[in-house]
Amino acid sequence: MVSSLNTRWVILIAFSLFAGTLLGGCIFWNGIQAERNSRPLPVVQVKLGPTQLNAEIVYKPLDLYRGLSGRPSLCQACGLLFVFPDKEERTFVMRQMNFPLDIIFINDNQIVGIAPNLPPEGETPEKYYKSGEEANRVLEVNGGYCERYGVKVGDQLEVLD
């Protein structure tokens, strides 16, 4: 009788510790996510073709992975500039996007590739968009931007700030 009572207490304590750890981990993770989602990204002005854009900059691995996924929209004079620490062929997807994009691949300040008017995809993207050449920056803008303003491969991206 005593050993079965002790076993029940051990199981109850172990379960309580497990549940508390799990709950604490969930609260901690949600706090990290909320902080990341509310944290403003640095912004620079860039000149692309005949226009200027306010480009948010991402360079941290988690921000590079996420990009514009989940955002409801992007203002017409805005973009997201991915800055990578190295030069290599880049591959992008339209995972969890809510609007079409033009993806502009840039090596130093020269445009080396454009993937225009890309349709949004869900959680598991099926299409992959490659730079075709080495790139150390990528700029995402609203779909149709490059066609509307005549932006083409060989053009320069100028960071104004």
Written out in words, the top-level CATH class of the domain with range 43-159 is mainly beta
Q: What is the mean pLDDT of residues 128-137?
A: 97
Distance of alpha carbon 32 from its chain centroid, rounded? Answer: 16
pLDDT tens profile 102-114: 999 999 999 999 9
Given pLDDT bands bounded at 50, 70 and 90, which one contains residue 13?
Answer: confident
Q: Please, where are the H alpha helices in 39-129?
A: 61-66
How open is the CA angle 50-54-57, to the nearest 5 degrees? 125
**Does the pLDDT at position 24 exceed 80?**
no
pLDDT tens profile 67-85: 999 999 999 999 999 999 9
pLDDT mean across residues, the chain = 87
Question: What is the helix (H) or strand (E) element at residue 7, kind and residue range?
Answer: helix 2-38
Q: What is the mean pLDDT of residues 133-147?
A: 97
The whole-number pLDDT of residue 121 equals 94
Of 60, 89, 54, the C-alpha closest to 159 is: 54
Which contacts qualify for 112-119: CB closer than 8 Å, 24 or more apart?
A: 112/153, 113/153, 114/146, 114/151, 114/152, 114/153, 116/143, 116/144, 116/146, 116/147, 117/143, 117/144, 117/147, 118/94, 118/143, 119/94
Of 105, 98, 111, 102, the C-alpha closest to 82 is: 105
Distance of alpha carbon 142 from its chain centroid, rounded? Answer: 15
Per domain, the residue ranges of the chain are: 1-39, 43-159
